[in-house]
């Protein structure tokens, strides 16, 4: 089965007849490696920040399973969305629209990675962690990709939960239970996702229009999307410092979170309040998107540094 149909716009040099045989790089691309490295990093930080200890080999296995799961889920997302990806400039060069990988192969690859990740996690680490991992794959692939994304502009608000699971799963791998702190880590990523994604969605709006996906800027309009992003950024600030306020972390994390969230909010304000987008190539939106990635990376780094400084953490 080919990834593109005759009625869809063709990706540059993307005809199946021109396609090269797939190699490992194409399969690697199916795992969405750039996005997934931050997903895996937040999981690692959740694991390292959790109270208690874990054998380094088990800890490594757990992170490997989360990486496998995230990659498998990414491949299943690309399998399901091959036709949509072919219609969007940003995604046209992916292996399926380019015809470099057969659609069924992408599905099998995703299923194999996802299945293996859950089984290994259960057998080698913890069945509660394995269940949460299975649920996050299901949430991203079925709830977000198949169900919500083509139907509602709230797709990423609800679907964002999938990307918020990894630090919680990392935490469970160490403690075997779900307590307030991992729920807060979940909530922070959940709140961060709308401004992260909508900043990008604002400048790739024509892509989503071409693919007929009701992302917020397309469905509710740019002004509404901007205001909503601002609301999530405002809420993110107190939420991000909540672990410090309730005494679960020290000042290293608390002050870092305060500073990072203040900058995040300061960058969301011009995006949230602007009414005219003429002439600047959406620079504030691009700046916010880039900072959103640094934000999460830095926040979770601060969490681990804080816990290590306090003598807590999985390897302490």
Ligand X SMILES: CC(C)=CCC/C(C)=C/CC/C(C)=C/COP(=O)(O)OP(=O)(O)O
264 vs 186: CA distance, rounded Å: 18
Q: Which does 77 bind (CB under 5 to 8 A by kind): ligand X, ligand HEM, none?
A: ligand X
Name the residue with tokens 């604002």: 202
State in angstroms the smallest separation of the CB of 242 from ligand X.
23
Burial bucket for residue 123 (CB in 10 Å: 0-12, 13-18, 19+): exposed
Pick from 234, 216, 232: nearest CA to 154: 216
CA-closest candidate to residue 163, choices 136, 198, 199, 129: 136
189 sits near ligand HEM (criterion: CB under 6 A): yes
Nearer to ligand X by C-beta: 193 or 261? 193
Among 27, 41, 140, 244, binds ligand X (CB under 6 A): 140
- Show contacts with ligand HEM in window 35-64 (CB under 6 A): 35, 38-39, 42
Asked if 137 interacts with ligand X (CB under 6 A), we say: yes
Give the shortest CB-17-to-ligand HEM separation in angstroms: 26
159 binds ligand HEM (CB under 6 A): yes
Structure tokens at 268: 């969301």
On whether the CB atoms of residues 301 and 45 are closer than 8 A, the answer is yes
Angle at 309 between CA 304 and CA 311, to 5 degrees: 95
Candidate ranges 102-110, 119-127, 163-171, 239-247; the one touching ligand X (CB under 6 A): 163-171
* Contacting ligand X within 52-91 (CB under 6 A): 66, 69-70, 73-74, 77, 81, 91
SS3 120: helix
Among ligand HEM, ligand X, none, residue 68 binds (CB under 5-8 Å by kind): none
Binding site for ligand HEM (CB under 6 A): 34-35, 38-39, 42, 90, 144, 156, 159-160, 163, 189, 193, 196-197, 200, 293, 296
């Amino acid at each position: 089965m080919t990834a593109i149909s005759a009625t869809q716009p063709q990706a540059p040099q993307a005809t199946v007849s021109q396609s090269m045989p797939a190699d490992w790089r194409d399969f690697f691309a199916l795992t969405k490696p750039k996005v997934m490295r931050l997903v895996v990093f937040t999981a690692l930080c959740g694991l390292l920040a959790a109270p208690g200890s874990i054998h380094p080999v088990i800890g490594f296995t757990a992170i490997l399973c989360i990486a496998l799961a995230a990659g498998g889920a990414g491949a299943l997302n690309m399998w399901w969305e091959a036709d949509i990806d072919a219609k969007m400039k940003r995604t046209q060069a992916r292996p399926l629209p380019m015809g470099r990988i057969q659609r069924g192969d992408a599905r099998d690859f995703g299923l194999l990675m996802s299945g293996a990740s859950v089984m290994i996690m259960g057998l080698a680490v913890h069945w509660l962690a394995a269940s949460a991992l299975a649920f996050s794959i299901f949430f991203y692939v079925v709830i977000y990709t198949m169900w919500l994304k083509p139907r509602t502009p709230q797709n990423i608000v609800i679907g964002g939960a999938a990307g918020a699971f990894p630090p919680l799963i990392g935490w469970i791998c160490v403690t075997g239970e779900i307590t307030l702190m991992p729920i807060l880590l979940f909530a922070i990523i959940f709140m961060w996702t709308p401004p992260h994604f909508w900043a990008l969605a604002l400048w790739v709006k024509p892509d989503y229009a071409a693919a007929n996906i009701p992302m917020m800027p397309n469905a509710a309009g740019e002004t509404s999307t901007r205001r909503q992003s601002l609301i999530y950024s405002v809420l993110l600030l107190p939420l991000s410092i909540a672990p410090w306020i309730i005494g679960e972390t020290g000042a290293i994390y608390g002050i870092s979170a305060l500073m990072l969230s203040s900058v995040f909010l300061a960058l969301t304000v011009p995006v949230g309040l602007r009414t005219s987008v003429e002439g600047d190539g959406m620079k504030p939106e691009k700046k916010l998107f880039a900072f959103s990635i640094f934000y999460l990376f830095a926040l979770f780094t601060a969490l681990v540094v804080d816990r290590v400084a306090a003598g807590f953490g999985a390897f302490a």
